[in-house]
Amino acid sequence: RFGAASVNGEPAVILAIQKQPNANTLELTTRLDAEIARLRTELPAGVVIDAGIFRQVDFIRLAVDNVVAALRDGALLVIVILFLFLWNLRTTFISVVAIPLSLVTAVLTLRALGITINTMTLGGMAIAIGALVDDAIIAVENAFQRLRTRQGANEGISIVRDATREVLAPIVNATLIISIVFVPLFFLSGVEGRMLRPLGIAYVTSILASLLVAVTVTPVLASY
């Protein structure tokens, strides 16, 4: 016996379970809950298992919920601000489409890289949420400007294509410059590296995905 423990004034035995570093906390907790439920049916009278004293999964879920809420609120603010400044529903809609498409592309890329969706990766996406529409706004605004001033019977798709080419170099350079800011995170070692590297990867992936959307999907939507 190495110490004494009690729960609600009753004598108890505390059993702490330590997971392996690469183990998924959510999956492990689900399996442990199932095993504890099975053990409860075999316990003698008067013996109770309380699995809610400390559960790391509760803190993880709370942190993830907070980041998801930040993502949601950030996206809503971006939509409102875009509409107030652009004062055009179509322009706002086309620009905002970049947000979900960029995030979905980022999630698929992270999964392909073997990186799970966790607090840090969601945090990286939350930081990037305001910048995801930058490339799309530049592309769609230039396209609409060219469409308003077009002369002759030029087709809309060709005008939008030319307008996208005009701003391609600036938005590519701007995106690369923003991404370079997070490159130092990739070279961190130790605990800091393990914590912050996924955040940097998620941010850069989201920004690059927004660039891809701006030069592919945005021109197509702007041409109609």
Q: Are residues 198 and 174 in the same domain?
A: yes
36-46, pLDDT tens digit by residue? Answer: 889 888 888 88
Mean pLDDT of 78-102: 85
Q: When comparing pLDDT for 130 and 184, which is higher?
A: 184
pLDDT at 53: 77
Q: Which of 54, 70, 98 delimits the end of a domain? A: 54
Q: Are residues 36 and 146 in the same domain?
A: no
Q: Are residues 127 and 168 in the same domain?
A: yes
Q: Are residues 184 and 95 in the same domain?
A: yes
Would the pTM count as exceeding 0.95? no
pLDDT at 151: 60
Mean pLDDT of 39-65: 84
Mean pLDDT of 2-11: 75
- Number of structural domains the chain divides into: 2
Task: Provide CB contacts within 8 A for 56, sequence distance 6+.
Answer: 25, 29
Q: Are residues 48 and 65 in the same domain?
A: no
Q: Are residues 217 and 108 in the same domain?
A: yes
pLDDT more than 90, % of the chain: 19
Give the Cα separation of 20 and 60 in Å (integer). Answer: 16
Q: Are residues 122 and 202 in the same domain?
A: yes
Q: Are residues 89 and 50 in the same domain?
A: no
Q: Are residues 89 and 198 in the same domain?
A: yes
Mean pLDDT of 122-128: 87
CATH of the domain at 125: 1.20.1640.10
pLDDT at 34: 92
Domain that holds residue 7: 1-54
